[in-house]
Amino acid sequence: MAFNADGSADVNNYKVLTDIQGPEDHHGDMDLKVAGTNDGVTGMQMDVKVDGLTIEILEKAFAQARDARIHILKTITATLPAPRTAISQFVPKIRQFQDRPGQDRHGYRPGGKMINGLIAKYELAGIDIEEDGGVFVSGTDLAKVEAAVAEIVGMTKEWKVGEIVKARS
């Protein structure tokens, strides 16, 4: 937007730019982000750095945002008309469970021999253990991830008096 001699915004001298990458955010007088579907707006955010926005400026900005959103959605749909029916084999599979916080894990600690052994045994991407007892097991083979989870849960199970356990000597 241009400015008058007194420093006020000249609301009749402006440009509305469409910028999906963001470089104009810093240099422009107004930044309007609009998200949505073909049916309408689902969210928006606007920063204004000057006084003097008019309804005409807002109408143009929203019209350009709509045109850009529809163009982007058409491009996406032309590339991928519908969601994939299956996740890529290369996407890590993650299983999360809650262990007891603060328990003595008897060698089952991040970076410990037991965890590194499980990662190698099941060919996992990793096992992350949070302070609050949250455990995240990830890998590319879901069956191996679930087998590792089962083994970890078995290692940390609290046995109750009277439970029957099958074991080998």
Binned at pLDDT 50, 70 and 90, residue 110 comes out as low
Whole-Å CA distances, 120 to 46, 114, 139: 50, 10, 11
Q: Are residues 56 and 28 in the same domain?
A: yes
Question: Is 67 inside a domain boundary?
Answer: yes
Query: Which residue range forms the structural domain that includes residue 17?
Result: 2-79
Q: Are residues 11 and 58 in the same domain?
A: yes
Q: Are residues 7 and 74 in the same domain?
A: yes
Q: Are residues 66 and 97 in the same domain?
A: no
Helix ranges (DSSP H) in the chain: 24-27, 55-79, 113-121, 142-156
pLDDT tens, 12-45?
777 777 777 766 666 677 888 899 999 999 999 9
Distance CA 35, CA 137 (A): 34
pTM: 0.50
Contact 124, 138 (CB under 8 A): yes
Domain count within the chain: 2
Residues facing 95 on adjacent strands: 137
Cα angle vertex 45, ends 2, 82, to 5°? Answer: 120
